[in-house]
Chains A and B, each alone.
Chain A
Amino acid sequence: QDQPHSHDEL
């Protein structure tokens, strides 16, 4: 599930 505060981009 996507967490809104997980920043997976650079």
Chain B
Amino acid sequence: MNIFRFAGDMTHLMSILILLLKIYATKSCAVGISLKTQELYALVFLTRYLDQFTDYVSLYNSVMKVVFIASSLAIVWCMRRHPLVRKSYDKDLDTFRHQYVLLACFVLALLLHEIFTFQEVFWAFSIYLEAVAILPQLVLLQRSGNVDNLTGQYVLFLGAYRGLYIINWIYRYFTEDHFTRWIACVSGLVQTALYADFFYYYYLSWKTNTKLKLPA
């Protein structure tokens, strides 16, 4: 494992923990956090790590899989079940139609996968879903029109994770003999482009000192 991938995993973990700790500490998610995005991420981890008991890669991988599943489920649990956090969630702003995204990702996984097995189709599904899982969050930010520190940091760390993973792939492409993983790399590029778009508007709003407004 190279340093870029490790740093990518750590920023990914940081983004989730920041969100979880802040929701828990403030007992509120009234800061523009999309429950739909969080549920999609929990589903991403659950469907990707079906290989937890069948394919052993390393202790690091096995432990991180458990941590990612547990922390993402904890966020969803807080937002759905915690009496105070649940009250602070404004579902009228969280309007993204995630059903269509789920269906599209599943159909794409049925068509485009490495091997046609249950695990592999769901692995591909999780890769496609992760690429677009941030969309409800971006739509929510656009509708609520403000980005506070928590949400800013959260998206910042997620973006760093994506960027580091791309550097990791470039590094692996040049240092490994048979590094071909088109599904993960192309989906990863799409996902990073979504963040790049967000950061562009984030930067503009910061530079002009105006409220963040994302185009419709």
Contact = CB atoms under 8 A, between A and B. Distances in A.
Interface of A: 1-2, 4-10
Interface of B: 5, 9, 12, 48, 51, 55, 57-58, 61, 64-65, 68, 114-115, 120, 123, 165, 168, 176-181, 184
Nearest to A4: B114
A2 B184 contact: no
A9 B61 CA distance: 8
B177 A8 contact: no
Contacts of A7: 48, 51, 55, 57, 123
Q: Main SS of chain A's interface residues?
A: loop
B178 A2 contact: yes
Contacts of B51: 7
Nearest to B165: A9
Contacts, number: 33
Nearest to B127: A7
B177 A10 contact: no
Contact of B9 (A1, A2, A6, A10): A10
A8 B180 contact: no
Nearest to A2: B178
14 contacts: A2-B177, A2-B178, A2-B179, A4-B115, A5-B114, A5-B120, A6-B55, A8-B57, A8-B58, A9-B5, A9-B184, A10-B61, A10-B64, A10-B68
A2 B181 CA distance: 11
Contacts of B115: 4-5
Contacts of B114: 4-5
A9 B181 CA distance: 11
A1 B75 CA distance: 39
Contacts of B64: 10
A7 B184 CA distance: 10
